[in-house]
Amino acid sequence: AGFEIGVQRTVPLSADEAWRRLTGPDGVRAWLGDAPSLRLEVGEAYRLADGTAGEVRIVAEGERVRITRHPNGWARASTIQIRVTPKGEKSVIAFHEENLPDAEAREARRAHFQEAIAEIVKH
């Protein structure tokens, strides 16, 4: 499966609020990029300004999303999985991305998802 990365954090948000923030326009921009017309519906395709393209594969409302991501220059698309799990009055936000091309991309994506979670919690 190539290189992969997982980032998770317990956040001071209910699972419903964490899901709302993750899937709202600001949340999607934080973890995916600027895809203003993207609807999180199975089969929905997207293309970012930098040429990155992909498709929504799975949406389990309130729980998880699976989406492909294929930046220019990568031999194949990666798969991003996002989960929100209730944990009492808090929740756990988890990102997992597989099929990354190398260790450098893995570390870049780790930092990206850590920043995305921080951004989502802030707003």
Q: In the prediction, which pLDDT does 119 show?
A: 96
Residues 57-95 pLDDT 10s: 999 999 999 999 999 999 999 999 999 999 999 999 999
Residues 4-13 pLDDT 10s: 999 999 999 9
* φ/ψ bin of 73: left (φ > 0), alpha (ψ from -120 to 50), beta (otherwise): left
Nearest partner of 56 among 75, 81, 90, 76, judged by Cα: 81
Residue 23, both tokens: 């899937």
C-beta atoms surrounding 22 within 10 Å: 23
Task: Decide: helix, strand or coil at residue 113.
Answer: helix
Query: Is the CB of residue 53 less than 8 Å from the CB of residue 76?
Result: no
14 pLDDT more than 90: yes
Residues 30-52 pLDDT 10s: 999 998 778 999 999 999 999 99
Report which residue type is found at 75: A
